[in-house]
Structure 1
Amino acid sequence: MNVKINPWSSSSIQDYSRLFDDFGISPFNDLIPEIKSPNRYIRRNIIFGHRSYDLVIDAMNNQKPFSVMSGFMPSGKVHLGHKMVMDEIIWHQKMGGDAFVGIADREAYSVRGISWEMCRETGINEYILSLIALGFEPEGHIYFQSESQQIMDLAFELGVRANFSEMSAIYGFSGETNISHMISALCQSADILNPQLSDNGGPKPTVIPVGADQDPHIRLTRGLAHKMNMFRIEKREQNNGNFYFSVRSKSAPSEALKEIKELAPGDAKLFEGHVDVYNTDDFNDLLETVRQVELEFGGYSFVPPASTYHRFMSGLQGGKMSSSSPDSYIALTDDPESSVKKIKRSKTGGRITLQEQKELGGIPEECSVFEIMLFHLVEDDRELARIHQECSNGKLMCGKCKAYAAELMKEFLVEHQQMRENARERLHEYGIKE
């Protein structure tokens, strides 16, 4: 692939399937039949990959605790790309997840040089208001990194388990990288693990919905979660071909191992630094026992975080969507009339001439207008399929399609911006002070 993706300056991704091999991301398609009431990002294969999301599906389907967490760096306008993540958070919240949203002001300060005052203003007036307007419920948790002592304390502890070589390999840090930038990356890991702290209900599956450029944060945090835990469990084979489990101490006190011996299912034997458990096939029961003992002895017992990855939207003029090019994106705070103009100026998958369009049909897969409808504007799958078919067979012309999409976008922005004003009056319900 010859691309080092990182959260701050990755190249565009041309072949998402390469991420499966290059970064160990698993394809999402096989999981879709197991998901009740899938959202449009799932139904339409916009979410293309995952890590450990099967744990979250099991929790959703069996009414077990799980969390959803993601964050936003307050460095500019909130746009349709951010809306995708917000929609995914809100959907998981509706499916029973405890929802967490972090405003990454420490990252914005260290990476972009944005003042603390501007971080807070942008965080509230752009991101938080839109998040609430889209349907985020007050039972969720919204916080600024710089105002959370819990995040700072956890980031400090995680830093003991991280080193420069590892972070350089993941993020591409060099000798020119400032220290605060590195610390902000640890804050991201603390954000991701925050839902599993005892104050937030303890260990549980937690999904982080992100674009593929944020995967370095997931990889670092999954590694740190393993390192922070006191135990690891290994499945081993005996000479007679039977299997047993060995609970190995990484940093646990000897008393914790003794308790695991007493509580473990099956026949347990205590050795120096480990407990071997025989005559049990119930790995989940053993895992829960180990987790409870670790918590009792002051550990974290983190469940390595799960993640989902969605495809990026292309820019309205083709190529990448860029915050430095306002015509390439639609912000949720844009004047609705300006969004109409942007859509009508956007790149389509139409042919050079009207006659060619009628004869050959358009190419919706290469059309930024169809993409906006696919990602955001048309909820009904049958309606979307109709538009795709009529474009492909030459029945629907680009001008009419643009006008339809522009009207839908205008209606959405008018309604959304009214909801944003209503959300401002509800900030206190979420513990946010302007």
Structure 2
Amino acid sequence: MNTKLDPWGSVNIDDYSKLFDEFGILPFEDICSELPDPHRYMRRKIIFGHRSYDLITDAMKNKDPFSVMSGFMPTGGGHLGHKMVMEEIIWHQKMGADAFVGIADREAYSVRGVSWEKCRQIGVEDYIVSLIALGFEPDGHIYFQSESDNVKELTFELGSKTNFSELSAIYGFSGETSVSHMVSTLSQSADILHPQLSEFGGPKPTVIPVGADQDPHMRLTRGIAHKMNMFRIEGREDKNNNKYFSVRSKAAPEGALADIAERLPWDTKLFEGHVDVFGADNYTKLLNTVREVEIEYGGYAFVPPSSTYHRFMSGLQGGKMSSSVPESIISLKEDPKAAAKKVKRAKTGGRMTLEEQKKLGGDPNNCSAFELLMFHLVEDDKELEEIYNECICGKRMCGSCKALAAELMTEFLTEHQEKRELAKDRLDDYGL
């Protein structure tokens, strides 16, 4: 496929399953059954892939600490595509995650040339207010990249483990790419990793809900997380096929390996550069001990971040959804009546004539109106399935689907905008 995933460009993915082979993304449906109350995006395979999400499901089951983190680049108004990420963050927060939301103003300034003042205005009015209106709780963390000392300091440290060749291979940077643009990619990595700083409880699984076009940030950050850690744990076998673990130093301070050997309850043998561990029957205890020592010696012991990937919504007229084409999107601040008119003009999967529709049925898989119902407007799976089946068998006409979607969209936007007004009065609760 040779797909190029560009976080700042326009990506059109025709077959999401090809991302499994090309980028190592795993199918989400294989892990969805382990969740007690999956979000509708998960149930409906709108979230189609993941990296290391098993760490998150294990944390949920065991009531262990975990985080969710994602962000928004303040270059334009929030729309239904952004609402998807907001909902995923809020769902994880309700499932027990410590939630982080970053406004990527350093990225907007360096990549799009948006002024700092405009970044703050858009960040608050278009993204943060809608996030709160949708249900984000005050115990979460909302911040601007340019105002977070944690993010700025961590960005500098991550830079010591990254070079231009790596950024060029992942993002296609050239000699014409500005330094600030390159630094903004490290700011993204700092966003992703900073929920694991000691200030927020230390190393823990962290999930990043994103669209597939953001996967380059995940690949970069997972690689940097491994590089930043002082140790790696390897499973090995001796000549008699007896299995054991070897804790290998990656330039760890003197004495750190000896401390690990001393604290472990199993047989150990200390060498220069590594300590071998025999008879370990609890990998979690081994891992936690190694992390504990690393933190005491000034390291981070990052858990490589997990991620989920959702499908993109198509534009209302078909093709790609784009903020530069107003008729293709619905803004979260849009007049409900104007939005309803857009829905009624949306592209559907209907036939050329009413007679053909009744005879052959429609195609809900290629219908913007049905997509709105599936992604945003109908929570009940049985109701959605009934609409789908009535469409494909020719019982339901496009006009009725459009009318239903327009009515529900009007209701949603009216209610959301009322909640937005209330949210503006609560910004102090979120430290803004």
TM-score range relative to shorter protein: over 0.9
CA distance in 1, matches of 2:167, 2:21: 21
Match in the other structure for 1:238: 238
Match in the other structure for 1:379: 379
2:201 matches 1:201: yes
Match in the other structure for 1:268: 268
CA distance in 1, matches of 2:94, 2:11: 34
Query: Which amino acid is the alignment partner of residue 271 of structure 1?
Result: F
1:81·1:313 contact (CA, 8 Å) conserved in 2?
A: yes
Q: Which runs of 4+ in 1 moved over 2 A?
A: none
Name the SS for the 1:314 alignment partner: coil
Match in the other structure for 1:123: 123
- Please report how far the alpha carbon of residue 395 of structure 1 lies from its aligned counterpart in structure 2 after TM superposition: 1.0
CA distance in 2, matches of 1:192, 1:14: 28
1:348·1:366 contact (CA, 8 Å) conserved in 2?
A: yes
1:207·1:306 contact (CA, 8 Å) conserved in 2?
A: yes
Q: Which runs of 5+ in 2 are unaligned?
A: none
CA deviations 1:16-61 (Å, max 9, x no partner) are: 1111111111111110111011110011011100000000000011
CA deviations 1:359-403 (Å, max 9, x no partner) are: 111100000100010000000001101110111111111111101
Match in the other structure for 1:328: 328
CA deviations 1:192-249 (Å, max 9, x no partner) are: 0010000011000000000000000000000000000000011111000011111000
Match in the other structure for 1:184: 184
Match in the other structure for 1:418: 418
CA distance in 2, matches of 1:415, 1:236: 58
Match in the other structure for 1:219: 219
CA distance in 2, matches of 1:23, 1:398: 38
Query: Which amino acid is the alignment partner of residue 207 of structure 2?
Result: V
Match in the other structure for 1:168: 168
- Please report how far the alpha carbon of residue 281 of structure 1 lies from its aligned counterpart in structure 2 after TM superposition: 3.0
CA distance in 2, matches of 1:273, 1:147: 40
Instruction: Note the 1:2-401 alignment, pairs <5 A.
Output: 2-401=2-401
- Please report how far the alpha carbon of residue 10 of structure 1 lies from its aligned counterpart in structure 2 after TM superposition: 4.0
- Please report how far the alpha carbon of residue 11 of structure 1 lies from its aligned counterpart in structure 2 after TM superposition: 2.6
Name the SS for the 1:131 alignment partner: helix
- Please report how far the alpha carbon of residue 266 of structure 1 lies from its aligned counterpart in structure 2 after TM superposition: 1.4
How does the TM-score come out when normalised to structure 2?
0.99
1:196·1:203 contact (CA, 8 Å) conserved in 2?
A: yes
Name the SS for the 1:34 alignment partner: coil
Q: Which runs of 5+ in 1 are unaligned?
A: none
- Please report how far the alpha carbon of residue 405 of structure 1 lies from its aligned counterpart in structure 2 after TM superposition: 0.5
CA distance in 1, matches of 2:267, 2:3: 50
Query: Which amino acid is the alignment partner of residue 138 of structure 2?
Result: P
Name the SS for the 2:143 alignment partner: strand
Q: Which moved more, 1:299-308 or 1:24-33?
A: 24-33
Query: Which amino acid is the alignment partner of residue 163 of structure 2?
Result: N
CA distance in 2, matches of 1:156, 1:254: 24
Instruction: Note the 1:395-410 alignment, pairs <5 A.
Output: 395-410=395-410
1:185·1:217 contact (CA, 8 Å) conserved in 2?
A: yes
Number of residue-to-residue matches in the alignment = 432
CA distance in 2, matches of 1:301, 1:236: 22
Name the SS for the 1:96 alignment partner: coil
CA distance in 2, matches of 1:260, 1:115: 49
Query: Which amino acid is the alignment partner of residue 142 of structure 2?
Result: I
Name the SS for the 2:220 alignment partner: helix
- RMSD over aligned Cα, in angstroms? 0.7
CA distance in 2, matches of 1:312, 1:369: 15
